[in-house]
């Protein structure tokens, strides 16, 4: 058993990480998964691409949001009729760099929330058209894009997983509405 673990550990250490695409067949279509790593690994551009391709709705729960490029893409989506809702951690929402007020000024619904247990609202995910999720450690900030070691996972067509995220978002949205 230890020998097997040593072999697996060795393979992990020597093969490293890279941007990979993994596919899993399911009944309703094919689940498609993409993984990105930063710094400068395409995380921000992948999010902007998802926003630009959204047609109906985008629900976002994000801890820190200072990226003007992502904010611009959301404002453009809102202007073309996409329903956009954003929840930002309450503490980060008070930062002078937070784009929450910019989004609100453009007519996008933004709510600020503490963590349900009194700590942080530390989620970093978005649901696009009820068909795609982006999640991972990647905050929507310039530091995450240019300096930090972060990850972003994009999952398409996994209806059970998407329903779980939608349920969580609905709960957070309602709770944030009680305090805003």
Q: Domain for residue 130, yes or no?
A: yes
149 is catalytic: no
pLDDT higher than threshold 80 for residue 104: yes
Report d(CA 168, CA 164) in Å as an integer.
6
Residue 75 Cα to chain centre, angstroms: 17
129 is catalytic: yes
Q: Model pTM?
A: 0.82
The fraction of the chain above a pLDDT of 90, given in percent, is 68
122 is catalytic: yes
| pLDDT confidence band for 179 (50 / 70 / 90) | low
CATH number of the CATH domain containing 108: 3.30.870.10
Model pLDDT, residue 92: 81
Q: Domain for residue 20, yes or no?
A: no
* pLDDT tens readout for residues 44-77: 999 999 999 999 999 999 999 999 999 999 999 9
The number of distinct structural domains making up the chain is 1
Among the options 69, 72, 83, 122, which is catalytic? 122
Which residue range(s) make up the domain with 133? 32-179
| Residue among 154, 178, 177 nearest 165 (CA) | 154
Q: Is 138 or 19 the better-scoring residue by pLDDT?
A: 138
Among the options 24, 124, 131, 146, which is catalytic? 124
């Amino acid at each position: 058993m230890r020998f097997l673990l040593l072999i697996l550990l060795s393979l992990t250490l020597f093969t490293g990480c890279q941007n990979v695409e993994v596919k899993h067949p399911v009944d309703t279509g094919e689940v498609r998964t993409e993984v990105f790593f930063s710094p400068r690994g395409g995380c921000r551009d992948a999010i902007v691409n998802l926003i630009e391709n959204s047609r109906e709705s985008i629900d976002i729960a994000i801890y820190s949001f200072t990226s003007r490029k992502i904010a611009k893409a959301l404002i453009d989506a809102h202007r073309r009729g996409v329903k956009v809702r954003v929840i930002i951690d309450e503490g980060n929402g008070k930062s002078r760099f937070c784009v929450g007020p910019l989004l609100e000024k453009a007519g996008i619904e933004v709510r600020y929330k503490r963590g349900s247990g009194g700590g942080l609202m530390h989620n970093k995910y978005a649901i696009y058209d009820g068909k795609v999720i982006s999640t991972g450690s990647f905050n929507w900030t310039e530091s995450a894009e240019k300096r930090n070691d972060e990850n972003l996972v994009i999952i398409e067509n996994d209806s059970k997983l998407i329903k779980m995220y939608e349920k969580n978002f609905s709960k957070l949205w309602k709770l944030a509405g009680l305090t805003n």
